[in-house]
Amino acid sequence: MKKICIILLFGLSAILRAQSSSVKGKIYTENTPDYLYSTVIIKENNRQADADKNGNYELKNLNSGTYTLLFTALGYISQEKKVTLSENENTIINVTLKENINALQTVEIIGRKEKSYKNTRSFIGAKTEIALKDLPQSVSYATKELIADQGTMRVGELVKNFSGVTQFTFYDDISIRGFRINGQSNTQLLNGLRTSTGFWKQPLTNYLERVEVLKGPSSALFGNASPGGVVNRVTKKPLDQAANSISFSTGSFNTLRALGDFTGPLNEDKTLLYRLNIGYENANSFRDLQFDKNIVIAPSFSFLPNDKTRVNFDLIYNNSKSILDRGQSTYENDLYSTNIRQSLNASNDYLNEETYILTTSLNHQLSDNLSFSASYIRTGYNEDLLEHRGANKYAVDGNGVSIPTAIEMQVFMRKRKRYIDNISNFFVYKTKTGILDHNLVLGYDYAQEKLPAGGSQLEAKGYRNAANTGAINTYNPNNQSAYLLDANGNPVPNVAHFDLSNPYNSQQLKDMSKYFYTTRAYDPTFYSTYGIYLQDQIKLGSLKALLGVRYDEYIDRENYTKDNEKKVKQHSFLPRLGLTYTLTPNVNLYSTYVKGYNPQTASIISNPNAGGPFDPLESNMIEFGGKSSWFNESLYVTLAFYKIKEKNSLYNANDSSNIDLMRAIGEQESKGIEIDLNGRITNQWSISAAYSFNESSITDSPVASEIGRQKPNTPKHQGNIWTRYNFTEGALKDFGLAFGSNFVTQRNLSISATQTIPGYTVMNAALYYTINKFKIQLNANNIANKTYWVGGYDYIRVFPGAPKNWLLTLGYSF
C-alpha cells in the first residue's frame, strides 16, 4: 500500500509539472487604444478564457506542447496564433483585432464596445449599419462617454455639442438648421423607429448609448420629417461580457441622482444577454418652485440562438413628477427687468407624466446574401397637469391699456393619453452585377398615433362678467358694463394677475374653487402613415452611390369615432441620391440630394376658421462636403455645405378676431456651413468640437417685412468645444481635466416682432480622479456665472440658462 501511495504521489507530481505552463496577454483594437472584451479558445481541447474589461486574459495549467489559440470578439475578425510551450514556460501573446466591416448588424441588437467620443457607425443613415464615412449626409452625435464626462442628464443639454442645433425652449423642443422640431411631432426616433415624448420634459440620457442627428430631410427613409433633420436616441444594448457600474451624484439646486448600469450574459454559451439601466433623480432648479422627480427602469435583452438569428427586447419606463415651466416674463421690452429665477407658477401646480416605450427587433439571415429584419415599437404616454400660466399677454386696466408689470393669467387642469405604434420590416440583399457591388434594401413601414376618448381640460381665464357668475375671455374697454370692475374701475380677472414687482405673493397656494371654468374636450384622434421604399448602396472601386425612393401615404381621420368620420389622405413620392468618393484612405468626399414632406394635419385642413385649404409642406436639400480621419483614425472630422428649401409652412395670422386663422409662407430657405470633430488626438487627449454658420430666413411671404429676417431661435453663428486630458504618470497620475465652452450669437424670438435675445459664451470644466474601480468626478458649469437665454417666444416667455452650478459624482465599476 505504501508503494502504491509513493507511485501516485510521483505521478501526481509529474502531472502538475507537466501542467505548469501558461499563456497570458492583452487584446487591443486596431487603430485605437481601446481594449476589448473577448474570448480566447484553445482549439485542440476547447478550453477558453474571457478577457477582462482591460483586455487582459490568462490560460493557466497547460501541458507542454503546441496549441492553436483562437481570439474572437463580436464585430471583429477572429485571429489565430500558434504557440509552443515547454515545461514551466509562461508565454505572453498580445494581439490586435481588426474590425469586421462585413459583419454589420442590420438592426442594432448587440451593444457597441467603442469607448470614446467618436462613433464610427450609424443605423439611421441607410436603415442598416453603415460606416459614417461612407454615408453621404452629415450626422452629429454624442456618445455615452461624452454624456458621462459632461455630467449630462437630459437630451436638450446635449444639443450644444451639435453643429446647427439649438434649443428652442426648455421643452423637448429644438431647432435644426433653422427648422423647429419637438417631442410631439412624431418625427423623433428611438433606435431608428418613430416615437414621441410628452414635449414638456426633455428625454433622460442615462439609458442611452448615444444621441445622433441626421441632418436634412429624412423623408426618403422615415416618411414625413422635418427638413432640418431627425433626432435618433439609441438605447444601451447588452454586452456579451459582464460590466456593471453604479454612481451617485449630488450638487447645486438640491440635486440627488442614483444611476446603475448592469450587463452581461445570462447563460454559459452567451446566447442570452441582458442589460439593465436604472435611475432615480430628485432635483430642484434655479427656477422658482421647479423640481423634477424621475424614476427610470430600462431593461434590455438580446437572444442569439445561432449565428443567423438575433432578437432584442427593450423597455423604457419613466415615472416623472414635476411642474411645467412656461418661462420667464419680463417688463415690456426690458429683458433684464426681472430675475431669471422667476416663474409664473403657483406652489400647488404639478405635472405628473408616465411614459413607457417598448421595442422588439428581429434579424434573421435567410442565406449568405439575404437577410430579413423586423422591428416594432409601442409608446404610451399619460399626462396629469395643473398649471397657473400666463395668457401670453400683459394685463390691462379699465381703459384697455397694458400694465407693463402684470401678466394676465390662466389656469389649465388637463388629463390625456397618447399611444403610438410603429412597425418596420425590410429585406437586405447583397449581390454583384459585373464590377458593381450592391446592397439592396426593400422595406415597408407603418406608423399610427391614437388619442383615446376622455382627454379633456378645464380652463379658467379672462375677466369676470358683471354678475360675477362667469368669465369673458378678453376685455373690451368699449363695453365696460359687461365686466365686474374693482374700486379703481379696472376689470376683475378670473385668475389674479401675476405681479412681476411682487412675485412671491403671486406664487402662493391658490384656492382652485374660486375660479370660473370652461371645459375643452380633446376629441379622439387617429392618424396613420405607411411607406414603401427601395434603396441600393452601389460600390464601384472608390465610388459609392446611395440611391433610394419612397412612396408615402398619410391618413388622418377627421371627426374620428363620430358619425361623420372621413379620411383625409395625402401622399408623396420621395427620391434620394447620394455619392461618396474615397479620395485617400483617410478622406471621403460626398454629395447628396433629398426631398422631404410633412402633411398638414386634418384638424387644420378641416377647420373652417383656419383659412385653408393648405398644401402639404414640401422641402428639398442639396448638401456636399467631406469626412476625414486623423491620428490613426482616432479623430473624425466632418465638413458640410448645405441649402434647404421648404414651401407652404403655416404660421398663425395673429388675428385677434379669429385665433384659429393660419397663413401660409411661400418659401423658407436655410443655407450654411457646419464642422464636427470627435475623437482622440492622443491616447490621453479626447475632444469634441463643432461650429456652424447658418442663414435661415423667409424668402417668399405675403408680409414683406418678414422676408430676409433670420428665423426664430436660429443663431447665425454657434460653436462648442469640450476636451479632456488624462494624466498617466507623474504627480497627477490617475487625474483627468476637462474644459468646455459653447457660444451662440444673437437670436430673434419671432418672425415678425423685433424682440431678440443676446448671444452668449458659457464656460464649463470638470475634474476626474480614477483609482482602481472607483471614480470621482466634479463638474462645474457656467463658471463665469453668465446670464443668458437658451430660447423663447417673446419677452413674456423667455427661457434662461442656469447660473453657475456644480455636480459631484462618485462611481464604482465591477
Q: Partners of 762 in the beta sheet?
A: 742
Number of domains in the chain: 3
Q: Are residues 606 and 688 in the same domain?
A: yes
Q: Are residues 225 and 272 in the same domain?
A: no
Pairing, β 56-62 against β 471-472:
unpaired
Domain's final residue, options 215, 234, 253 = 234
Q: Are residues 579 and 700 in the same domain?
A: yes
The three grid cell numbers given for residue 368, joined into one nine-digit string? 449568405
Element (H, E) at 158: helix 155-158
Residue 484 lies in a domain: no
Q: Are 760 and 744 in contact (CB under 8 A)?
A: yes
Q: How far apart are CA 348 and CA 362, in angstroms?
A: 46
Q: Which residue has the higher pLDDT, 556 or 775?
A: 775
Neighbours of 484 (CB within 10 A): 17
pLDDT of 114 > 70? The answer is: no
- The sign of the torsion formed by the CA atoms of 199, 343, 514, 460 equals negative
- Written as one letter, the residue type at 695 is E
Pairing, β 735-744 against β 662-680:
unpaired
Residues 260-266: what's their mean pLDDT? 95
Q: Which residue has the higher pLDDT, 110 or 216?
A: 216
Domain's final residue, options 199, 234, 269 = 234
Q: What is the predicted pLDDT for the residue at 289?
A: 96
Residue 390 lies in a domain: yes
Residue 110 lies in a domain: no
pLDDT of 10 > 80? The answer is: no
Q: How far apart are CA 297 and CA 312, in angstroms?
A: 17
Q: Are residues 229 and 245 in the same domain?
A: no
Residue 121 lies in a domain: no
Q: Are residues 291 and 363 in the same domain?
A: yes
- Binned at pLDDT 50, 70 and 90, residue 478 comes out as very high
Q: Are residues 283 and 388 in the same domain?
A: yes
Q: What is the predicted pLDDT for the residue at 795?
A: 95
Pairing, β 498-499 against β 518-521:
unpaired
Q: Are residues 411 and 267 in the same domain?
A: yes
Here the CATH number for the domain that contains residue 49 is: 2.60.40.10
- The sheet that has 208-215: what strands, in order across it? 139-143, 208-215, 229-235, 188-190, 193-195
Q: What is the predicted pLDDT for the residue at 378?
A: 96
Q: Which tens digits make up the pLDDT trace of 741-778?
A: 999 999 999 887 789 999 999 999 999 999 989 999 99
Q: How far apart are CA 480 and CA 494, in angstroms?
A: 15
Q: What is the predicted pLDDT for the residue at 604?
A: 61
Counting residues of the chain whose pLDDT is more than 90, the rounded percentage is 66
Q: Which tens digits make up the pLDDT trace of 786-801?
A: 999 999 999 999 999 9
Q: Are residues 215 and 260 in the same domain?
A: no
Residues 684-709: what's their mean pLDDT? 91
Here the CATH number for the domain that contains residue 140 is: 2.170.130.10
Q: Are residues 636 and 753 in the same domain?
A: yes
Q: What is the DSSP letter of 731?
A: T
Say which residues have a Cβ less than 8 Å from residue 148's Cβ, sequence separation at least 6.
none
The three grid cell numbers given for residue 80, joined into one nine-digit string? 489565430
Q: Are 297 and 317 in contact (CB under 8 A)?
A: yes
pLDDT of 720 > 90? The answer is: yes
Residues 424-429: what's their mean pLDDT? 94
Q: How far apart are CA 554 and CA 601, in angstroms?
A: 10
Residue given cell 439649438 in the structure block: 166
- Nearest 5°: the CA angle 543, 546, 547 is 125
Residues 499-519: what's their mean pLDDT? 95
Q: What is the DSSP letter of 514?
A: G
Q: Which residue has the higher pLDDT, 97 or 350?
A: 350
Q: Which tens digits make up the pLDDT trace of 641-695?
A: 999 999 888 776 766 566 667 777 889 999 999 999 999 999 899 999 999 999 9
Q: What is the predicted pLDDT for the residue at 705?
A: 82
Residue 202 lies in a domain: yes
Q: Partners of 389 in the beta sheet?
A: 410
The three grid cell numbers given for residue 195, joined into one nine-digit string? 416615437
Q: What is the predicted pLDDT for the residue at 130?
A: 84
Residues 510-535: what's their mean pLDDT? 92
- Binned at pLDDT 50, 70 and 90, residue 307 comes out as confident
pLDDT of 254 > 70? The answer is: yes
The three grid cell numbers given for residue 610, joined into one nine-digit string? 383656419
Q: Are residues 287 and 212 in the same domain?
A: no
Q: Are residues 88 and 153 in the same domain?
A: no
pLDDT of 14 > 90? The answer is: no
Exposed, middle or buried, 784 (CB in 10 Å: 0-12/13-18/19+)? Answer: exposed
Task: Identify the top-confidence range among 7-21, 171-185, 311-325.
Answer: 311-325
Q: How far apart are CA 366 and CA 427, in angstroms?
A: 10
Residue 401 lies in a domain: yes
Residues 312-337: what's their mean pLDDT? 95
Residues 547-564: what's their mean pLDDT? 89
Phi first, then psi, for residue 327 (nearest 5°) are: 105, 175
Q: Partners of 801 in the beta sheet?
A: none
Residue 595 lies in a domain: yes
**Owning domain of residue 131:** 127-234
Domain's final residue, options 199, 215, 234 = 234
Q: Which tens digits make up the pLDDT trace of 136-185?
A: 999 999 999 999 999 999 999 999 999 999 999 999 999 999 998 887 76
Q: How far apart are CA 153 and CA 511, in angstroms?
A: 35
pLDDT of 405 > 50? The answer is: yes
pLDDT of 617 > 70? The answer is: yes
Residue 529 lies in a domain: yes
Residues 235-239: what's their mean pLDDT? 92
- Binned at pLDDT 50, 70 and 90, residue 599 comes out as confident
Q: Are residues 422 and 346 in the same domain?
A: yes
Q: How far apart are CA 147 and CA 163, in angstroms?
A: 16
